[in-house]
Structure 1
Amino acid sequence: MTESSARPHPAARRLLPACAAAALLVPQVSSGAALLGGAALALTLGNPWPASTRRAVKRLLPLAVVGLGGGMDLRAVLATGARGFGYTLVSIAACLAVGRLLARALRVENNTGLLITVGTAICGGSAIAAAAPVVRAEEHETSVALATVFVLNGLALLIFPAIGHRAGLEQGQFGVWAALAIHDTSSVVGASLQYGQRALQVATSIKLARALWIVPVTLALGVAVGRRRQDGAAAAPGARPWFILGFVVLAALVTFAPALRPAGHLASEAAKRVMVLVLFLIGAGLSRDALRALGLRPVAHGVLLWVAVGVASLGAIQAGLLSP
């Protein structure tokens, strides 16, 4: 049964908007609960509007990230991003190298392995979407890479805060770890939001700075594979991270115009609730077809690379090599 032919239970048409409203309006609904609730609804009763939820995620996620800038001090954001430049560069290069070796060892399809590696190294689905046209990936290759990263994102959102507390990480340390080891911006924000405001600030700063690496990495891929198209591959990456500029602009306004700070605080709190809604919709976008499409080798590649990045970065933080 394909996703297009599957018929959601009629109750899903009533439950989906009600649960979405709860995720948005009820403060007691956490980011982890929202993600699990969306996934449970999609996998049991079905999502009656999969295309609509995908469009909503694409539109709401950047807006939520911009809104979070209202609760940030730009001076602290820039300082954190600057301090993180060196280990961001090293971690991206190391992840790309290890990912390629793992893909070859596991005999994962070339483009699928490359997309999973790029998504793990930079920022998950956004990096995969930017790199796919450059390497001329087939639709099934892109779908498998996105599905692998999606499942790991959900796991990270649920287990990273628990591991962080177990390891005794301070909020700043957890923010660094989340930014380096969790794929998508949404899950980085969701996990750090559970850990505390300082963790959220550090994680968001580093992750948004990391997202800028979509541009040089994607262009380098185009040169390496010899397939870059003048009218497509070079333009796509540059158009995606516009929300980074919006985040910085809003943070600058509330930092240097004190009169705007109350409004910035309201925008930040609203953005946090929108992010919880986004995570619910991401969960609701999961389908049985997507899970069936994964296959063992891409999943093994994605999991091993993710674990390697997570363990290495956590060890470096605990050894004092990485700090916020």
Structure 2
Amino acid sequence: MLLIKDRFQGVFLCFVLALPAYFLGKEFEIIGGPVFAILLGMLLSKFVREKDILKSGITFTSKKVLQYAVILLGFGLNLSTVIAVGATSLPIIISTIATSLITAYIIFKLINIPAKSSILIGVGSSICGGSAIAATAPVIDANHKEIAQAISVIFLFNIIAALIFPTLGNFLGLSDHGFAIFAGTAVNDTSSVTAAASSWDSMHNTGTEVLTGATIVKLTRTLAIIPITLVLGFYQAKKASGQNKASIKSAFPMFILYFIIASIITTFLNYFMDRNIFSAEISSAILSFFALMKFFSKYFIIMAMGAIGLHTDIVDLIKNGGRPIIMGFCCWIAIACVSLLVQHLLGLW
């Protein structure tokens, strides 16, 4: 009972900490709630007393609640829509993901950045920012400092991309479709993809056309979480066991399986709704359920980032942030260049 009480206190602290971060993220979408949560957590950690009592709940939030957030992400993925609409961007997505991971590996070898930080930055840059880091961190057993560092690096280049990419797209003469693909493949986090695409729509009076296209491309990128985490899971299991073959049970991150199941459920329910199999009341209830799961997914990620902030020394993070920023910059530039190059070669410009 005492353990449950201590855990509740730590989880409740993270829940309360997430409230201002959530509303600040809605007000400043270009930054996003998770970044505000990390910053608030790091600031609050200097004033929190009796950390030992709160430790169990904070650790639970940073690990388990983070996994629950990834599972709930699946309820935002209609696989049939992603496959149908996002298929044209698939060659670009594969190229940018491969480019980011290869770039991260090269920089890791050149300037000796810790391996787990390198993986998180490479995966976060190539797939979907904070969500990809949230999915990958438990698989590779990354610590709080490594997660906070990766999120901070991704955040920095998210802001730059959201601010300059619409102007860059204009300068390059991208079409509306071309910029939707560029934003969806070259900007890391969903909030920044939304900011960049919305700016383009405002500049060109295109309604929400580019925003919709960029979001679907971004959702297609999100699916890469599945193979990436599976490969990393098998690698970590093999490395830990020291054997030639890792057991499937120990290697498979179960929360990713639940993420896949949630995506499949979402796809089937959308299929039935599109064919008017359900009544209007049931369809409305299903859509409300999806909206609720999307909200909880976002809020759980913010809670987990707050917990990570509470575990992180802001002075140490700044002191050791130079090399990760270099890696993030190289990945960001490489992804943007490859996205534009492949798009040009495929005639999607």
Query: What is the TM-score normalised by the length of structure 1?
Result: 0.68
2:124 and 2:21 map into 1 onto residues whose CA distance is: 31
Which sections of structure 2, spanning at least 5 residues, go unmatched? 1-11, 49-53, 199-210
Secondary structure in 2 matching 1:108:
coil
Cα distance, 1:315 vs structure 2 = 2.9
Equivalent pair of 1:177/1:310 in contact (CA under 8 Å): no
Deviations 1:86-130 (A, max 9, x none): 333333333333222212221334565456445544533423443
Cα distance, 1:253 vs structure 2 = 1.3
Equivalent pair of 1:156/1:191 in contact (CA under 8 Å): no
Map of 2:207 onto structure 1: none
Larger Rg: 1 or 2?
2
Map of 1:277 onto structure 2: 299
Structure 2 counterparts to residues 1-324 of structure 1, below 5 A: 17=16, 20=19, 23=22, 30=29, 32=31, 34-46=33-45, 50-54=58-62, 55-63=64-72, 65-69=73-77, 72=78, 74-109=79-114, 112-113=117-118, 116-118=121-123, 120-122=125-127, 123-130=132-139, 132=140, 142-168=143-169, 176-177=181-182, 180-181=185-186, 187-188=189-190, 190-194=191-195, 195=198, 196-216=211-231, 219=234, 227=242, 230-231=246-247, 235-237=251-253, 240-257=256-273, 258=276, 259=278, 260-284=282-306, 285-287=308-310, 288-289=312-313, 292-293=316-317, 295-296=320-321, 298-316=323-341, 319=344, 321=346
Equivalent pair of 2:38/2:148 in contact (CA under 8 Å): no
Equivalent pair of 1:103/1:301 in contact (CA under 8 Å): no
2:271 and 2:286 map into 1 onto residues whose CA distance is: 9
Deviations 1:217-254 (A, max 9, x none): 65478789994662478623465253133123213212
In proportion to residue count, which structure has more helix?
A: 2
Match for 2:340: what amino acid? G
Secondary structure in 2 matching 1:305:
helix
2:315 and 2:134 map into 1 onto residues whose CA distance is: 16
1:267 and 1:235 map into 2 onto residues whose CA distance is: 32
Cα distance, 1:157 vs structure 2 = 4.8
Cα distance, 1:149 vs structure 2 = 1.6
Equivalent pair of 2:92/2:342 in contact (CA under 8 Å): no
Q: Sequence identity of aligned pairs in percent?
A: 14
Which sections of structure 1, spanning at least 5 residues, go unmatched? 1-12, 134-138
Cα distance, 1:322 vs structure 2 = 8.1
1:167 and 1:20 map into 2 onto residues whose CA distance is: 35
Cα distance, 1:199 vs structure 2 = 2.9
Cα distance, 1:175 vs structure 2 = 5.8
1:115 and 1:233 map into 2 onto residues whose CA distance is: 23
Secondary structure in 1 matching 2:113:
coil
1:225 and 1:271 map into 2 onto residues whose CA distance is: 35
1:219 and 1:253 map into 2 onto residues whose CA distance is: 32
Cα distance, 1:59 vs structure 2 = 1.6
Cα distance, 1:151 vs structure 2 = 1.0
Equivalent pair of 1:173/1:199 in contact (CA under 8 Å): no
Q: In the superposition, relative to structure 1, how do residues 163 and 273 fare at CA in structure 2: closer, same or farther (>3 Å)?
A: farther
Q: In the superposition, relative to structure 1, how do residues 143 and 87 fare at CA in structure 2: closer, same or farther (>3 Å)?
A: same
Match for 1:246: what amino acid? A
1:22 and 1:98 map into 2 onto residues whose CA distance is: 32
Equivalent pair of 1:178/1:192 in contact (CA under 8 Å): yes
Secondary structure in 1 matching 2:252:
helix
Q: In the superposition, relative to structure 1, how do residues 232 and 263 fare at CA in structure 2: closer, same or farther (>3 Å)?
A: same
1:113 and 1:307 map into 2 onto residues whose CA distance is: 13
Secondary structure in 2 matching 1:124:
helix
1:112 and 1:35 map into 2 onto residues whose CA distance is: 18
Equivalent pair of 2:35/2:151 in contact (CA under 8 Å): no
Count of equivalent residues = 296
